[in-house]
C-alpha cells in the first residue's frame, strides 16, 4: 500500500514529446531544491501552470516489518523547469530552491529526459544510479524501448543499460540482454 498516491510528475503531459509545447521564449532550467522539497516544488509549479518534469520511481521499503510503497525522485534535489525568465523567478518564490542551474545544451537535456521518461513508463524494474562509469554507448534495437540510448555497465555480474542525464551525471539503469542492443559509433 503506498504512503501517498503518485502525483503529477510532468506538466503539461506532452512536454517531452510535442515540439510545439517547447516553442517560444521558454527553455530548460534545473532547479536545485532544498532537502526533500522536490514534490512540494512540483506541486507549486503545477498550481501556477508552469511546465516542469519531476521523474519519480516506485520504491518498496520495509518499515517495522511492513512493506510500504513510496515514490522517490530519480534525481534527489532536482526539478526540471521549462519556462521563461519570469517562471524561473516565480519558482524562487517558493522558498524551496537553493539555486537555479542554466542548461547550455537544451536539445541534449530534452533527449535525455525523454529517454528517462520512456524507461519509467515501461514499468521495468529500475535502479537509481548516482555515479556514472565508462562503457560502450548502445541503443535498444527491438521492443517497446527501441531507440533508447545509453551506456552498458555491469552490476553484480549482470549487464545493465544506464540511461543518464549527462548534465547532472546521474541516471537510472535496467537489466538488459546483449541481443537487444546495437553498438553506437
Cell numbers representing residue 94 in the block = 517558493
What CATH number has the domain bearing residue 132? Answer: 2.30.30
Question: Given a cut of 80, is residue 167 above it in pLDDT?
Answer: yes
Q: Which of 18-32, 36-50, 113-127 has the lowest mean pLDDT?
A: 18-32
pLDDT at residue number 158: 84
Cell numbers representing residue 96 in the block = 524551496
pLDDT at residue number 154: 86
Angle between helices 38-47 and 85-92 (to 10 degrees): 130
Averaged pLDDT, 180-185: 83
For residues 31 and 87, membership in a common domain is answered with: yes
What are 46-102's pLDDT values in tens digits? 999 999 999 999 888 778 888 888 899 999 999 999 999 999 999 999 999 999 999
For residues 97 and 16, membership in a common domain is answered with: yes
What are 99-148's pLDDT values in tens digits? 999 999 999 999 999 999 999 999 888 888 876 665 888 999 888 899 99
For residues 99 and 131, membership in a common domain is answered with: no
How far is CA 57 from its chain centroid?
9
Q: What confidence category does residue 177 fall into, taking pLDDT thresholds of 50, 70 and 90? A: confident
pLDDT at residue number 150: 93
Q: What is the DSSP string of the chain?
A: -BSS-----EESTTTTT-GGGG-SS-EEEEEEESTT-HHHHHHHHHHTT--EE--EEEEEEEETTEEEEEEEESSTTEEEEEE-HHHHHHHHTTS-EEEEEEPS-HHHHHHHHHHHHHHHHTT---EEESS-----EEEE-SSTTTT-EEEEEEETTEEEEEEEETTTTEEEEEE--GGGEEE--
Q: Could you tell me if residue 83 is inside a domain?
A: yes
The total of structural domains in the chain comes to 2
For residues 22 and 82, membership in a common domain is answered with: yes
Please count the residues of the chain: 185
pLDDT at residue number 135: 81
For residues 135 and 61, membership in a common domain is answered with: no
pLDDT at residue number 58: 87
Candidates 40, 54, 53; CA nearest to 96 is 40
- Give the torsion through C-alpha atoms of 30, 167, 25, 35, to 10 deg: 0
Q: Identify the domain containing residue 82 by its residue range.
A: 10-103
Q: What confidence category does residue 2 fall into, taking pLDDT thresholds of 50, 70 and 90? A: low
pLDDT at residue number 35: 94
Q: Could you tell me if residue 140 is inside a domain?
A: yes
With beta carbons less than 8 A apart as the criterion, state whether 125 and 161 touch: no
Amino acid at each position: 500500500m503506498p504512503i501517498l498516491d503518485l502525483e503529477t510528475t510532468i506538466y503539461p503531459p506532452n512536454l517531452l514529446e510535442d515540439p510545439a509545447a517547447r516553442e517560444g521564449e521558454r527553455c530548460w532550467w534545473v532547479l536545485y531544491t532544498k532537502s526533500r522539497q522536490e514534490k512540494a516544488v512540483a506541486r507549486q509549479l503545477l498550481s501556477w501552470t508552469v511546465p516542469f518534469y519531476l521523474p519519480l520511481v516506485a520504491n518498496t521499503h520495509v518499515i517495522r516489518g511492513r512493506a510500504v510503497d513510496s515514490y522517490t525522485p530519480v534525481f534527489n534535489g532536482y526539478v526540471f523547469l521549462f519556462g521563461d525568465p519570469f517562471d524561473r523567478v516565480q519558482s524562487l518564490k517558493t522558498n524551496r530552491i537553493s539555486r537555479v542551474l542554466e542548461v547550455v545544451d537544451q536539445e541534449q537535456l530534452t533527449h535525455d529526459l525523454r529517454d528517462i521518461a520512456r524507461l519509467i513508463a515501461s514499468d521495468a524494474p529500475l535502479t537509481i544510479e548516482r555515479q556514472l562509469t565508462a562503457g560502450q554507448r548502445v541503443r535498444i534495437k527491438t521492443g517497446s524501448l527501441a531507440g533508447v540510448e545509453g551506456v552498458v555497465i555491469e552490476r553484480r555480474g549482470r549487464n545493465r543499460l544506464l540511461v543518464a542525464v549527462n548534465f547532472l551525471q546521474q541516471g537510472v539503469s535496467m537489466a538488459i540482454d546483449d541481443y537487444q542492443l546495437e553498438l553506437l559509433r
